[in-house]
Amino acid sequence: MIFEIDSVELYFKEKTILNGIYLKTETGKTTSLLGRNGSGKSCVLNIAFGTLIAKYSHIRLNNKPLKKPLYQTQLASFLPQYHFTPNQVKVSVLFKLFNVKWKDFIVEFPELTKYKQYKINTLSGGERRLIEIYLILKKNAKIILLDEPFNGISPLYIDKIKLLIEIKKKHKAIILTDHRYQDVIAISDTIYLIKNGCSKLINNLTELEDYNYLLQGSL
């Protein structure tokens, strides 16, 4: 599966947000989007998924134009920036809804065993986020979009999520964005930086400093 998004133009009222975005991912690859706060990363993911309509955007799957929103195809699953699980639903019910095995989860995260019958909104924000990321990564989807998967997650769990992404990408095409650039760099096959509404393919990591995304000497 090859996924491409191209020629994106997005405006909010008179303000230009995006005006030259291209990015590509494919099965076996993690493609990442970096950029400062407000540069438009979440907008790109939402446009890709079909939950935000841009003035222009072209999406291709396996080199063919996609004529309907990606979310209608059942091919993709999307971790939005904020909690997507309904407050009152029990953890066990969420696993059933996503057709994901609880027993596999507690092998990876035994500390969360006690939460099986809890309502999701009674967990801490990070624990809830961890379950949401796990469900999205384990869901039977060929394209995975992850908006800030590491946000609010403790270091040990971040390492486990990174490992899970590496395992899952063998059969999935992944696009992710996060501010933890070192973690992002560690698991990315391709990186784009969004700057001034345009995506720039990063061929050499020092370009992240040259484009003033990172301070000189950060790498």
Closer by beta carbon to ligand ATP, 2 or else 198: 198
CA separation for the pair 186, 160 (Å, rounded): 13
**Greatest Cα pair distance in the chain:** 51
Question: Least distance from C-beta 63 to ligand ATP, angstroms?
Answer: 27
Q: Helices 125-138 and 155-168 sit at what angle, rounded to 10 degrees?
A: 10
Closer by beta carbon to ligand ATP, 162 or else 197: 197
| x/- track of binding to ligand ATP for residues 26-45 (CB under 6 A) | ---------x-xxxxxxx--
CB atoms within 10 A of CB 46: 19
Q: Is 21 in the site for ligand ATP (CB under 6 A)?
A: no
Question: Least distance from C-beta 92 to ligand ATP, angstroms?
Answer: 31
Closer by beta carbon to ligand ATP, 12 or else 64: 12
CB 169 within 8 A of CB 28: yes
CA separation for the pair 175, 211 (Å, rounded): 21
Residues in contact with ligand ATP by CB under 6 A are 12, 17, 35, 37-43
